[in-house]
Amino acid sequence: MPYDVSNRKDSLVVRTCIYAFLIAGALTMAIPYVWMVVTSIKPPSEIQAYPPSFLVKNPTIEPYQELFKTMPMGRYLFNSFFVAGSITLFNVFATSLAGYAFAKHRFWGRDKLFFIFLGSLMIPWQVNIIPGFVIVKSLGWLNTYKGLIIPSMAWCAFGIFLNRQFIYSIPDDLIDAAKIDGCSEFMIYRKVILPLIKPVLATLAIFTFLQQWNNFVWPLVIISTRDMKTLPLALSVLTGQYGANFAMVMAGAVVATIPMLVVYLMFQKYIIKGIARRDLRGRTQIYADRTPIVADLDEHRFTQIFWKKLERK
């Protein structure tokens, strides 16, 4: 087969354009974060200088020292971690169980109930603020962790939908093989389903944690004491009526951003594995359409390898 130089040049040009566009987009999105970090270590004279500059002539950590002296940041960080972490753990566990039930079990009203969950996604969350406040107040949960955590646990329709769609693509042969071996339903969920849905659980954990970490409106509605404030509420105090200490505001923003970056880096590998697995599965499906016998053999071999790994564990 002759070597086509023109096609190779065209693909190289297209690839170069794609990478240039992605790099430009990444730099554009990174500029605000770089400016945040740079401003947090600038003295006031450099912050007010015109024209503004990314260069720092006299870096200082006084904004961070002033931030932790002025406000109990340790308490605010603990509140945000406890609230966001508790909601994330519950949603990941509960939605994966519900997604498994909706995807692999048949029961009366399954599809109707699932569509009701999907329909709840169309309701704006602002509609539930006043009813939620009335319920929390009647239960005596104002200024408590229960008031911050339990109402947010009810918003799990997106997680159920995400898990259900992912689990639905898992072959039923794996579940049937587990039932033949005597596994209970929870054992099937723990030994078969959970190892295969780690990518979607990592994605859901990141989304849920970031959403709850940055949640401002609901804590503002039910929290009035200083000790129960979360980090977004604490940072809003830094902007006064007549102005703000911009260096300290940016220092607080840096402190609030670091945990989100840590959570993303912790679960990033599972997301990448999930993308690679889905891509490999898509290519396998293409070949399966052409050669069904080979596809059946590969599926059977995959089942054998899967159960051998479980036996080793």
Q: How far is CA 99 from CA 93, 117, 163, 167, in A?
A: 10, 11, 5, 7
Residue 211 CA to residue 159 CA, distance in Å, equals 13
Neighbours of 101 (CB within 10 A): 20
Quick one: pLDDT band at residue 240, thresholds 50, 70, 90? low
What's the Cα-to-Cα distance from 295 to each of 20, 97, 153, 175, rounded to whole Å?
39, 30, 42, 19
Show the CA angle centred on residue 158, arms to residues 26 and 207, nearest 5°: 35
pLDDT in tens, 303-313: 555 555 555 54
Residue 303 burial class via C-beta count within 10 angstroms: exposed 0-12, middle 13-18, buried 19 and up = middle
Collect all residues with Cβ–Cβ distance below 8 Å to 307 and sequence separation of at least 6.
177
Give the 3-state secondary structure of 67-106: HHHHCCHHHHHHHHHHHHHHHHHHHHHHHHHHHHHHHHCC
pLDDT score of 291 more than 60? no
How far apart (Å, rounded) are the C-alpha atoms in residues 290 and 288?
5
> For the domain bounded by 63-267, which CATH number is listed?
1.10.3720.10
pLDDT in tens, 157-213: 888 998 998 898 888 888 888 888 888 888 988 888 888 888 888 888 888 998 999
- The CA distance from 308 to 177, in Å, is 12
Helices (H), 41-70: 44-47, 62-70
**Residue with token string 């029961």:** 107
> pLDDT per residue over 103-152, tens digit each?
888 888 888 888 888 888 888 888 888 998 999 999 999 999 999 999 98
Q: Determine the pLDDT at residue 191.
A: 87
Residue 166's CB is within 10 A of a number of other CB atoms, namely 22
The structural domains of the chain, with segments of one domain joined by +, span 1-60, 63-267
Mean pLDDT, residues 69-86 taken together: 91
Beta bridge partners of 239: 244
Q: How far, rounded to the nearest angstrom, does the alpha carbon of residue 311 sit from its chain's CA centroid?
A: 32
| pTM tops 0.95 | no
Q: How many CA atoms lie within 13 A of 177 on its CB side?
A: 18
DSSP bridge partners of 244: 239
- Are 208 and 88 in contact by the 8 Å Cβ rule? The answer is yes
| pLDDT at residue 293 is higher than 50 | no
Q: Give the integer Cα–Cα distance in Å for 265 and 276.
A: 17
